[in-house]
Amino acid sequence: MSQVAHELSVERVVALSDADLEDLCEATDAAIIEGGGFGWVAPQGRMALARHFRGVLLVPERELFVARLDGHLVGSAQLVRPARNNEALAWAAQLTHAYIAPYARGYGLARMMVNRVEERAAALGHRVLNLDVRETQRTAIELFERLGYIRWGTHPAYARVEGRTVAGHHYYKTLEPVRGRPTEALFPQDP
């Protein structure tokens, strides 16, 4: 039995073609239906999702990363940087809205995408990457913990999904700079 080699890639995009937008909307709705990766709990449809992604591309503090399987967009993640006037939080960024469509899982694309977001955040000078995830998103939790994210807290009333209150877990990961002092040197030391 021969295995088919698939083309896998992750990239940061600044524009989406109509075909890419169609793929991304389909992947997003599939992830929402499956229960993961987005704040939405019900499928939104192409028009709402197209508006959402076009809006993401317009926000200067947001960067959109997409995962491709055999040339088709099958997931995305966003890197959110603090506002330029927030010097105190400039060292940290947020990883948000990360998901891979259920039909494209098992190829390592989620790991590739998170790694690419981390690389970009570090290249921009961020030393910490924060994220939060619903407790029901077990696959995402396992991935983030396997990639070295540290759970620092749980919000017991984080979200409402299908009429029930769901907890959310908050994570962070320190990033090593492209150049300069190691991130560990910036943390307070125990006496």
Greater confidence (118 vs 42) lies with 118
Would residue 121 count as lying in a domain?
yes
Average pLDDT, the chain: 91
Would residue 191 count as lying in a domain?
no
CB atoms within 10 A of CB 147: 14
Would residue 3 count as lying in a domain?
no
Asked if pLDDT for residue 183 goes beyond 70, the answer is no
Task: Tell me which residue range forms the domain holding 177.
Answer: 8-185
Alpha-carbon dihedral angle through residues 141, 145, 151, 156, given to the nearest 10 degrees:
10
Q: Which pLDDT belongs to residue 19?
A: 97
Question: Which pTM was predicted?
Answer: 0.90
Would residue 190 count as lying in a domain?
no
Q: What are phi and psi of 177, to 5 degrees?
A: -70, 160
Residue with tokens 């891979």: 100
Average pLDDT in the 78-97 region?
A: 92
**CATH number of the CATH domain containing 110:** 3.40.630.30
Tokens representing residue 75 in the block: 């997931």
What DSSP element (H or E) covers 125?
none
Residue with tokens 């591309």: 57
Per the structure, the count of domains in the chain is: 1
